Amino acid sequence: MSAWLKEVELIGEVVKLTPLKASHKQQLLAAASDGELWNLWYTWVPSKNDIDSFIEIALAQKENQTALPFVVIDLKSDKVIGTTRFMNADSENRRLEIGSTWYAASSQRTGINTECKYLLLQHAFEKLNCIAIEFRTNWFNYRSRNAILRLGAKQDGVLRNHRIDSNGILRDTVVFSIISMEWPVIKKSLKYEIDKH
């Protein structure tokens, strides 16, 4: 059976999403250092202590066809500014989650996330023929929740006590989705936002 998630590079006006490699380690650490993102308690952004594990997990998921991880490159500076991935892939039901997304602090609130999500959603709906794309985030990650809503996703619900984090704290996970019939209008909305920048 051929792979559903094939390596691909997605290129926009301001960003390029290129498949994650182990060689991106130092560039990812530099991006995470911009804002010391590993101090955010409600999400996992790697530090020098767990960057190897972060990359190993992502590449193992890619190998078993459950994920396709990317680094996000700012085309203007040609620097890695973060990461994102297709994950929890279900090829039989043509569903994906977009997650494990974070950006260097200086790249946040710049329009970069909008273009990244546009590129990922366009590929998922138009090339992979997905019927639904999920987004999940911690209940306390208000910035992420608002960013997902701004994309046009709708909240499906909250999974109470969904996970136990590394500190033993129970996490409530908020689940959002965009379904295929919504993509044309969301595509138009995202393109409008991108063109404004």
Q: Above 90 in pLDDT, residue 166?
A: no
C-alpha dist (Å) from residue 5 to 36, 83, 99, 190: 32, 17, 15, 24
Percent of the chain with pLDDT over 70: 94
Would you state the structure tokens that stand for residue 145, as one six-digit string? 């929740």
Q: Which pLDDT tens digit goes with each residue over 168-192?
A: 889 999 999 999 999 999 999 999 9
**19-68 tens-digit pLDDT:** 999 999 999 999 988 756 665 656 667 788 889 999 999 999 999 999 99
CB atoms under 10 Å from CB of 179, counted, come to: 15
Provide the b/e sequence for 99-133 (b: ≥16 CB within 10 Å). Answer: bbbbbbeebbeeebbbbbbbbbbbbbbeebebebb
Q: Please give the Cα distance from 69 to 20 (Å, whole number).
A: 6
pLDDT (0 to 100) of residue 107: 80
Domain locations in the chain as residue ranges: 10-196
Q: What local confidence, expressed as pLDDT, does residue 47 receive?
A: 80
Instruction: Report pLDDT for 71.
Output: 97
* CATH number for region 10-196: 3.40.630.30
What's residue 39's pLDDT?
55
- Give pLDDT, residue 168: 87
Q: What is the structure's pLDDT at 36?
A: 66
Note the pLDDT tens digit of each residue in 63-117.
999 999 999 999 999 999 999 999 999 999 999 999 999 998 888 777 899 999 9
**126-151 per-position pLDDT tens digit:** 999 999 999 999 999 998 999 999 99
| The model's pTM | 0.93
Residues 6+ apart with CB under 8 A from 137: 43, 144, 145, 148, 173, 174, 176
